[in-house]
C-alpha cells in the first residue's frame, strides 16, 4: 500500500532510504498522536475477554495488517500489549492469510503439539474470517465494526459474537 501511494503521488518507486525515513516518521508521529486522538477507543469487553482468555491458559497472538511498530503502538494507550505474546504484522507479509499462518507457526514453536485447528482467529471483517479459514484455524467473527453478525455468519465462520461482551466460545 505504501509503495502504491508513493508511486501515485511521486510517479516513481521509492529509494530504500526514503522508505526507511517514511516509516520512521510515521511511527514517531503515531506514537505521539495516538495519546490525543479523539477517535481512539477500546471496544467494550475487550480487556475483560483478554483477561479471561489468559486466565484460562490461552496464549494470545496478534495479527495485524499494520507494521509491527504501528500495531503495538496502537495498543499502548489501553495497555493491551501485555496480553499478546507473539504476532505477525503487515511488515511480515502483505497477505492476511500468510500473516495468520505465520502467527500460527510462531505459536507452534512456543506451544508443543499445537495444531491450527486449536487456534481461534478473532476478527471483525470477512477478510479476517477468510484468513483464519485459509490457515486452518477456527474463525470467530465479532460484529464490532462495519459488518453485522449476519454478514460475518455468511462467511462460514465457526462462531459469531455481537460484541466482545458476548460469551467467548469455550470460556
Domains in the chain: boundaries: 2-33, 46-161
Q: What is the rounded distance in angstroms from the CA atom of residue 18 to the CA atom of residue 25?
A: 11
Round to the nearest angstrom and report the end-to-end CA distance of the chain.
Answer: 38
| Average pLDDT rounded to a whole number, residues 94-109 | 93
**Can you give the pLDDT at residue 1?**
67
Angle at 50 between CA 45 and CA 56, to 5 degrees: 125
Residue 40: pLDDT over 90: yes
Fold classification of 46-161 is: Rossmann fold (3.40.50)
| Average pLDDT rounded to a whole number, residues 34-53 | 95
**Can you give the pLDDT at residue 7?**
86
Amino acid at each position: 500500500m505504501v509503495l502504491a501511494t508513493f508511486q501515485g503521488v511521486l510517479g516513481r518507486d521509492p529509494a530504500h532510504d526514503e522508505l526507511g525515513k517514511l516509516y520512521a516518521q510515521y511511527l514517531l508521529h503515531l506514537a505521539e498522536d495516538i495519546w490525543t486522538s479523539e477517535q481512539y477507543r477500546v471496544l467494550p469487553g475487550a480487556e475483560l475477554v483478554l483477561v479471561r482468555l489468559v486466565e484460562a491458559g490461552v496464549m494470545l497472538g496478534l495479527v495485524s495488517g499494520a507494521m509491527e511498530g504501528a500495531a503495538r503502538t496502537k495498543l499502548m494507550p489501553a495497555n493491551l500489549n501485555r496480553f499478546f505474546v507473539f504476532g505477525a504484522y503487515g511488515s511480515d507479509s502483505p497477505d492476511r492469510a500468510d500473516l495468520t499462518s505465520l502467527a500460527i507457526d510462531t505459536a507452534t514453536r512456543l506451544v508443543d503439539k499445537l495444531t491450527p485447528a486449536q487456534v481461534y482467529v478473532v476478527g471483525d471483517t470477512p477478510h479476517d474470517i477468510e484468513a483464519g479459514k485459509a490457515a486452518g484455524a477456527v474463525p470467530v467473527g465479532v460484529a464490532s465494526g462495519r459488518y453485522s453478525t449476519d454478514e460475518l455468519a455468511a462467511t462460514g465462520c465457526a462462531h459469531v459474537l455481537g460484541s466482545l461482551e458476548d460469551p467467548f466460545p469455550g470460556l
